């Protein structure tokens, strides 16, 4: 059980306190750093979804404009 505790303490010290260590280095509050990370994650997810919808719209528009004709007699 001792090695499990040491692994847990290692990750708590090095991994879970990233925002508080960054806030200490920047001289600001840890809650502001955490809120920044939360807002940035929402922005990046929303931006990706917006790009996806834009590409879907342009592909649908392209398919509506440029229809492939199967033969010469389909005019």
Instruction: For residues 42-62, give the mean pLDDT.
Output: 91
Q: How many CA atoms lie within 13 A of 67 on its CB side?
A: 6
Instruction: For residues 47-61, give the mean pLDDT.
Output: 91
Length of the chain: 75
DSSP state of 67: P
What are 35-51's pLDDT values in tens digits?
998 999 999 989 989 99
Instruction: For residues 14-42, give the mean pLDDT.
Output: 88
pLDDT of residue 51: 93
Q: Is the pLDDT of residue 8 over 70?
A: yes
Token digits of residue 47: 């931006």
Mean pLDDT over all residues of the chain?
A: 85
Rounded CA gap, 58 and 51, in Å? 11
pLDDT of residue 16: 72
Residue 39: count other Cβ atoms within 10 Å of its Cβ.
10
């Amino acid at each position: 059980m001792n090695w499990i505790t040491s692994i847990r303490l290692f990750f708590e010290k090095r991994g879970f306190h990233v925002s508080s260590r960054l806030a200490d280095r920047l001289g600001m509050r840890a809650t502001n750093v955490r809120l920044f990370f939360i807002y940035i994650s929402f922005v990046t997810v929303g931006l990706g979804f917006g790009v996806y919808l834009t590409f879907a719209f342009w592909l649908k528009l392209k398919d509506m404009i440029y229809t492939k004709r199967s033969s010469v007699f389909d005019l």
